Amino acid sequence: MKIVAIIQARMNSTRLPGKVLMDLGGETVLARVARRLRRATLIDEIVVATTNSAADHPIVRECQRLSVRVFRGEENDVLDRYYQAAQWISAEGIVRITSDCPLIDPEITDNTIRSFLECRPDYASNALQRTYPRGLDTEVMTWEALARAWREARLSYQRAHVTPYIYEHPDRFDIFPVKGEADYSNYRWTVDTAEDLALVRAVYDRLGNNDGFSWRDVLSLLEQEPDLVDLNRDVMQKALQEG
């Protein structure tokens, strides 16, 4: 099975516009995501799925610098963008990653893919029943599941967030939650606000501004310096319906 990670990215994010190309220890946020994903052993190819908007030309240039393939599609219908990108690259298993997760961990991503390959569901995710920090989210689905969601999903948030139609319909899809051994879901490591970016920048700074550290290194750091968690403690996650 050809496993393709598709990273969705655009410049016009609502809470922190341009965040995917903001500096993170000498590299862009997007570069950190792509380079960490490259360490995952079960991913055959990585594609960045951005939009046809002129505002996203800089993302294309950054992908060229990173030697990462890029697909351009619908801006607001992200489900269509994923479907078209997966069809374009002939993906059989699709790994959904968002570009605001610069602490994405290749071990955890591989673990989610491995569960998908061993158990053969339509959809596997480590975010269905959260045990990992927010920002390590990995979703894996079959081409057939993605295509069915693309055909049947009608609500705007289902199109904007790609997978809700799948996990909201366990009667139509075989769904597999991937959980860790302990619950660290209280941590927020995604980048959606300036406060989130401040935390992630502090983490990279403390860990040498390279991509080689693991999520366990981040846990150890935050246990040693618990004040860092306060940087984005008050950030509330947006509801799906907010876009």
Domains of the chain: 3-242 (3.90.550.10)
What's residue 123's pLDDT? Answer: 98
CB 240 within 8 A of CB 161: yes
Other Cβ atoms less than 10 A from the Cβ of 63: the count is 22
Q: How far out from the chain centre does Cα 141 lie?
A: 14
Which 8-state DSSP code applies to residue 76?
S
Close Cβ partners of 234 (under 8 Å, ≥ 6 residues apart): 195
pLDDT digits (tens, 9 = 90+) for 71-118: 999 999 999 999 999 999 999 999 999 999 999 999 999 999 999 999
Beta bridge partners of 6: 47, 96
Q: How far apart are CA 111 and CA 109, in angstroms?
A: 5
What's residue 1's pLDDT? Answer: 95
What's residue 13's pLDDT? Answer: 86
- Stretches where the chain sits below pLDDT 70 are 238-243
Structure tokens at 73: 């599609």
Task: Identify residue 141 by its one-letter amino acid code.
Answer: M
